[in-house]
Amino acid sequence: MSPEPLFQIHLVLGYVAWLLCFGAYVWPWLRSMGRVEAQRAIATLHSFRFFGLVFILPGVVGPDLPAGFATFAAYGDLATGVLAILALLAVRVRPLFWLFVIAFNLVGIADLILDYFHAIQANLPAMAGQLGATYAIPIIYVPALMITHLAALYLLVRPTAARALADIAAAS
């Protein structure tokens, strides 16, 4: 089998496995926590995104890994990881904490979406072998990151939306 369908199968199954794990274990755990604790748990996972710099580390990835993909992915991950670390450091200053939580989630989601776009433009699935040791990142790590970003945004919006509906109902 050629690299392209293998990569696509791995990517889809990575999302399936993480969604099953997330639904059974992580989501109930996050929902049982307070808002700050849940966001701290998600920020802790994303604080390791500095690891994405490995996409531009010679010898770890193949020499023909498209620079347009690798460089953007590396620095987008670094920016998201630094913002997540800043959120963790700012937890005692709540307005700053929430600012960094929103920032790392928006930057992180934008980074992942743009990484998918760049990967498609560069035909990365056909040259997946160029990912070398980083092959596991888009297959195993990225699905968990995207799922937790979406969960974080939901947890950010959910209480606000519920309060707004309660205010509307009370005013009627």
Hey, where are the domains in the chain?
3-56+65-162
pLDDT of residue 139: 95
Nearby residues of 147 by Cβ (< 8 Å), 6 or more positions away: 15, 18, 19, 22
In 3D, which of 164, 143, 171, 157 has the Cα closest to residue 14? Answer: 143
User: For residue range 13-45, what is the model confidence (pLDDT) as tens digits?
Assistant: 999 999 999 999 999 999 999 999 999 999 999
Q: Is the pLDDT of residue 81 over 70?
A: yes
pLDDT in tens, 126-157: 999 999 999 999 999 999 999 999 999 999 99
* Separation CA 138–CA 134 (nearest Å): 8
> Residue 84: which of 98, 95, 100 has the closest Cα?
100
In contact, 101 and 39? CB cutoff 8 Å: yes
Q: What is the mean pLDDT of the chain?
A: 93
